[in-house]
Chains A and B, each alone.
Chain A
């Protein structure tokens, strides 16, 4: 048995985009144990409900995360709408779905780029981000913001899509589809990429289930967990099957996310072809009184929003459970027994978003 030592890892690290700190207990080059600690970017967003009224809070929860921003705002609005018994018009629901799926595309393309950067494939990294740019451009065209859209409101959405915009969205997703098809081969079949991902950080289906993992991380381990199956917004009318891979290694997670981009493209096309006419929002009167619990599928997994109103403008409590928080126990498990050089890749594999974990 070699000598054990503790290597601190993060919160600042060249490969990690997110401030997570891990104490790695290593023996030679092998990880024996990993002890995570977070708390470097806590902002106290949840407690702002005391100071900001429930409509303003929408703009604050949106800033929980810079990537799944739209879905945070949407989940919050849906929770408040649930409390207030507001029914969003169908067109509003479809627009929310379209923007959600565009967000998922840009998030997964970002992740693929970071993964490529993680295993040192710089040109692949830039190719992914180049594709992401066309998604961001169309988001800016339709919402006015590239990452933070500010188009949600309690009762619906603020902006509508006209025919030109719908055409632009369809053109952008077609472009991404064609170009991703070329890059996909590298991610899924390239010898050097496979050697870095295959069999690395295996998490079995049972472990993923017991540790409560969520999102593509859980689906990569064979768990068919996808909150979109709950049928919120327009998902009830759309035809899709969650993408699942049984292997539970880094390659499986990469496969799931790559294929999910194609799935999102398909969902956007379906939603656009069924886009109903009519209002995009309803007026909301009064204040929320009661509590609600909403679960949505974000790019990183399931996010849970809880709100409790007391009949005044200010909510009593708002609670957010983000997917990265659910995936941290799974991450610690995959790190056990891994090689030291694989640590950045394994952390990237859960697509960590620490700033939303700490809110």
Chain B
């Protein structure tokens, strides 16, 4: 049963074909649409309920309700996507593109703009006064 030279055709084909690997970084990596790279938040819809913070298996999200900030430690996040599943407002999405490596872990904070009724009225009133 045993034979010699079984591998020769594979080797020959290999010798005369292009490399299988990409010439990265000259040729950029292409991620499919579903690739789980990083979490993005839509602060417009987030209601700061803190459910994502309580559900994250690796504990990488912090929600500070009084200051209206949403913080994520992207180095601790394991890209499981559970926060996107639990968020009641579907404010979180997981998109392609990985966090760049760094020498230290750091957090990214996002503060919710506060469109309260009063400041808006004032802001509108001011230009009128100036006129």
Contacts and interface: CB of A to CB of B under 8 A. Distances in A.
With a 10 A CB-CB cut-off, give which of B4, B14, B32, B94 has the most chain A CB atoms.
B32
Contacts of B7: 123-124, 186, 190
A194 B1 CA distance: 10
Given A123-B7, A144-B94, A52 B2 contact: no
Interface string B11-23: 1001000001000
B34 A158 contact: no
A63 B3 contact: no
Interface stretch (B39-47, B74-82, B110-118, B119-127): B74-82
A59 B3 contact: no
B80 A59 contact: yes
Majority-rule SS of B interface residues: loop
A127 B80 CA distance: 31
A145 B36 contact: yes
A148 B35 CA distance: 11
A190 B1 CA distance: 9
Interface stretch (A11-19, A24-32, A97-105, A135-143): A135-143
B57 interface: yes
A182 interface: yes
A126 to B, nearest CB: 9
A269 to B, nearest CB: 22
Contacts of A144: 32, 34-36, 81, 94
B9 to A, nearest CB: 7
B10 A186 contact: yes
A182 B57 contact: no
A279 interface: no
B78 A143 contact: no
A191 B20 CA distance: 28
Nearest to A62: B80
Which of A63, A127, A150 has the most C-beta atoms of chain B within 10 angstroms of its own C-beta?
A: A150
Nearest to A153: B85
Interface string A154-186: 000011000000000000000000000011011
Nearest to A133: B20
B6 A59 contact: no
Interface residues of B, number: 25
A144 B85 CA distance: 15
A85 interface: no
Interface in A48-81: 52, 55-56, 59-60, 62-63
B55 interface: yes
B6 A186 contact: yes
A158 B1 contact: no
Contacts of A42: none
A62 B81 CA distance: 13
A130 interface: yes
B36 A127 contact: no
Interface of A: 52, 55-56, 59-60, 62-63, 123-124, 127, 130, 133, 140-145, 148, 150, 153, 158-159, 182-183, 185-186, 189-191, 194
Ranked 10 nearest A-B pairs via Cβ: A144-B34, A144-B36, A59-B80, A191-B2, A141-B32, A185-B6, A186-B6, A59-B57, A190-B6, A186-B7
Given A144-B36, A145-B79, A150-B80, 13 more contacts: A55-B55, A55-B82, A59-B57, A123-B11, A140-B35, A143-B34, A144-B32, A144-B34, A153-B85, A186-B7, A190-B3, A191-B2, A194-B1
